[in-house]
Structure 1
Amino acid sequence: MFVITVTYTASLDEVDRWRPAHGDWLKRLIAQRLLLAAGRQIPLTGGVYLASAMPAEDLSRLLATDPYVLNGVATHSVVEFTPLLVSDGLEELKGQ
């Protein structure tokens, strides 16, 4: 499993230009359960995603298709981890 942080590298005006395409991209990945959660950082300097377990190379290829990355307005930072303790109802994430 992965935690991905997104850091904007352009002004919010420029980021906003690509927000609809980025939102559609996120919705597709969440529908496919490749991403489990996505949201904005506070303050709004980027975002955070929680990604399902997959080969790191597959995740890299997937993140490269982010409209923010394709249009040069954000970068990603990835941390891989294995959930060992989870809340009730999230047992399916354990050991991913």
Structure 2
Amino acid sequence: MNSETNLFVIDLEYRVSIEVVEPHLDAHIAFLEHCYATGVFLASGRKVPRTGGVILARGQSKSEIETLVAGDPFHQHELAHYTITEFVPSMTAPSLQL
């Protein structure tokens, strides 16, 4: 594990109804795909019940992740509130390559 890589839990909570969110879903998915392609995002998905989503990311700093999240269409259109929690992994599953 790279000692300079921290993990981040990005918690999205919708500020608007799902009917307002859905027209922006394709752009949000394109944003997610870009972040997976760059290796920053490790997992993501909808909350149950569908009140937002959760993203597991890796990066060098919280400010890096905050800058990245600012490019999410959900953020740009003020559709969701974001909480970013940084943690230093002390143990991971072998399948999680950092």
**Identity in percent:** 34
Query: Is 1:55 the counterpart of 2:94 in the alignment?
Result: no
User: Hey, what's the Cα distance between the residues in 2 that align with 1:42 and 1:7?
Assistant: 12
Instruction: Determine whether 1:30 maps to 2:20.
Output: no
Task: Please show how residues 53-92 of structure 1 align to structure 2 within 5 Å.
Answer: 53-90=59-96, 92=97
> 1: distance between equivalents of 2:94 and 2:70?
33
C-alpha distance in 2, partners of 1:57/1:85? 24
Moved over 6 A (4+): none
Task: State the alpha-carbon separation in 2 of the partners of residues 73 and 28 from structure 1.
Answer: 20
Q: Which amino acid aligns with 2:73?
A: P
TM-score (norm 2): 0.88
Give the TM-score normalised by structure 1. 0.90
Deviations 1:10-45 (A, max 9, x none): 010000010010000001101111111111101000
Task: Give me the whole-angstrom Cα distance separating, in 1, the residues matched to 2:35 and 2:15.
Answer: 23
Count of residue correspondences: 92
More strand by share: 2
RCO greater where, 1 or 2, for CA within 8 Å and sep 6 or more? 2
Q: CA RMSD in A?
A: 1.0
**What secondary structure sits across from 2:45 in the alignment?**
strand
Query: C-alpha separation between the residues in 2 aligned to 1:21 and 1:35?
Result: 16
